[in-house]
Amino acid sequence: MSWQTKPSSTTKIPRRAEPYCSDAMKARWTKDLLPRYATKQGALLPILHDLQHEYRHIPYQAMLEVAQFLSITPAEVMDTVTFYEEFHTEPVGQCVIGICQSIACEVCGHQKLLDHVRNRLGLEPHETTDDGRFTLLALECLGSCDTAPVALFNETLHENLTIEKVDRLIDEAAKGGGGHH
Ligand code: FES
């Protein structure tokens, strides 16, 4: 997600009694993830991925819990969360549509696709529909310039897109066939 500026000294972190990093999750991370990395910090990305998958975002409270679990600072966790497009601090929809807006896709008509999705779903980039179904993102180069224009529907890359293909993908996702990440 994009960088945010906020008055961190006065920001209140909403808290819930139940931890986001459950005992079961921590046990799994300890068993499956930590042994794979030389430092505990190495496990940060897969842990964040797990949390994003589970909660559709990474709440601030969860970042504190992860910091504690890995014995690193909350700032290190937050830096990572805000650096990567795949992590969100607000809940995203069940289907996240990420349209590439970098140069090759731009030349191949990404704007037409973006406008179509904006109109069809009534969303601007970084917004989520009220029913929680769809989030629209405009992303930087997805590394598939030779098959532009491309977009991610959750974690699946779709290439050589046309408005018809995008409509089909949205229809499938609306029926629940889009899967989620
Ligand atoms: S510019 Fe879109 S994939 Fe590279």
102 pocket-lining for ligand 1 (C-beta < 6 Å): yes
Measure 111 CA to ligand 1 centroid, in angstroms: 13
Measure 127 CA to ligand 1 centroid, in angstroms: 22
Residue 138, both tokens: 């405009």
Ligand 1 atom with least separation from CA of 144: 3
Tens of pLDDT, residue by residue over 147-180, are 999 999 998 999 999 999 999 999 999 987 544 4
Tens of pLDDT, residue by residue over 39-69, are 888 899 999 999 999 999 999 999 999 999 9
What is the model's pTM?
0.75
Pocket test residue of 144, 146, 159 for ligand 1, highest count of atoms within 8 A of CB = 144
Residue type, 42: G
Domain annotation for the chain: domains and CATH numbers: 23-83 (1.10.10), 95-174 (3.40.30.10)
Buried b (16+ CB within 10 A) or exposed e, 134-149: bbbbbbeebebbeebb
Measure 146 CA to ligand 1 centroid, in angstroms: 8
Higher pLDDT, 72 or 177: 72
User: Distance (Å, rounded) from C-alpha 154 to C-alpha 92?
Assistant: 10
Residue identified by tokens 């779709």 is 158
